[in-house]
């Protein structure tokens, strides 16, 4: 028969065992948090050992398209990079605020969609400064864009001589602006995607929105993490430098 002392001893042992198990669980959680390969960004947990790609959208924002793309990204706890046109900022400020809230990245695409390669140094500077100034005035006074995408993908020797930002091209072109067909955009990405890709789309077409609905969950299902351009290059340990052209985190032009 179990005595009172035996029962007391058993309770003490159970308590000690519970403390030990609890401590091990906390230690395990701390070890996960301190992992050298895992990075917490807001609600996202990135693993730098796993494949990453950057979805990018040009020429926006456009109501009814860009805001719906943001909802998809939010649903799947993912982000993208938006190369914005400055003259579209003021009327779409709430969409841009949502981009920033979701930790998406904003990049330069000129104020009025001018061909950067044909602009003088002063003209280019004016286009970029106007865009940054309007963004700070009506969206977020603290946000500073740190990358640019040349309109039409055009570059020139003169542009490289005075561009103060890294120029981001792409490794996968969906050509959504040409065919406006969601299935073709999806096929182009899924047939060619690899770790480190920068994917070009435009957030002013309904077909692009529909393609995004398919691509985001499918890329995640295939093991890709959807990150911003700056995140992609940072975690691939590639420094983005002014006046240099980058196509992907596995291919740099110059």
Q: What pLDDT score was predicted for residue 1?
A: 54
Most trustworthy range by pLDDT among 26-35, 185-194, 244-253: 185-194
Q: What is the pLDDT of residue 139?
A: 98
pLDDT score at 36: 81
The SS3 of residue 72 is helix
Give the pLDDT confidence of 179-222 residue by residue, as tens digits: 999 999 999 999 999 999 999 999 999 999 999 999 999 999 99
Pick the CATH number of 56-252 from 3.40.50.1700, 3.10.20.70, 3.50.50.60, 3.20.20.370: 3.20.20.370
Nearest one of 219, 58, 73, 237 to 152, comparing CA atoms: 58
Band (pLDDT 50/70/90 cuts) for residue 14 is low
Helix axes 93-101, 66-75, angle to 10 degrees: 20
Check if the beta carbon of residue 227 is closer than 8 Å to that of residue 84: no
Say what the pTM is. Answer: 0.86
Q: Hey, how many other C-beta atoms are within 10 angstroms of the C-beta on 106?
A: 25
- Max CA separation in the chain (angstroms): 96
Q: What is the pLDDT of residues 85-128, one digit of tens each?
A: 999 999 999 999 999 999 999 999 999 999 999 999 999 999 99
Catalytic residues: 58, 202
Residue 62 Cα distances to 65, 90, 95, 174, 189, angstroms: 6, 12, 9, 19, 23
Domain chopping of the chain, boundaries: 56-252
């Amino acid at each position: 028969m179990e005595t009172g002392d035996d029962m007391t001893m058993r309770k003490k042992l159970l308590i000690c065992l519970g403390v030990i198990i609890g401590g091990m669980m906390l230690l395990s959680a701390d070890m996960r948090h301190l992992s050298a390969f895992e990075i917490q960004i807001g609600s996202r947990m990135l693993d730098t050992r796993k494949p990453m790609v950057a979805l990018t959208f040009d020429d926006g924002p456009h109501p009814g398209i860009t805001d719906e793309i943001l909802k998809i990204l939010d649903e799947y706890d993912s982000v993208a990079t938006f190369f914005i046109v400055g003259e579209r900022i003021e009327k779409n400020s709430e969409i841009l605020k949502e981009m920033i809230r979701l930790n998406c990245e904003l990049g330069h695409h000129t104020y009025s969609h001018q061909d950067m390669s044909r602009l003088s140094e002063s003209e280019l500077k004016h286009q970029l400064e106007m865009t940054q100034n309007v963004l700070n005035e009506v969206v977020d006074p603290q946000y500073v864009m740190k990358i640019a995408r040349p309109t039409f993908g055009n570059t020139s020797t003169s542009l490289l001589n005075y561009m103060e930002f890294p120029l981001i091209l792409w490794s996968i072109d969906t050509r959504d602006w040409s065919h406006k067909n969601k299935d073709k955009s999806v096929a182009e990405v899924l047939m060619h995607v690899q770790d480190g890709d920068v994917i070009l789309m435009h957030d002013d077409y309904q077909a692009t929105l529909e393609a995004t609905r398919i691509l985001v969950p499918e890329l995640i299902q295939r093991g890709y993490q959807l990150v911003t351009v700056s995140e992609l290059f940072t975690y691939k340990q590639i420094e983005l430098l002014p006046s240099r052209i980058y196509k992907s985190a596995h291919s740099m032009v110059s």
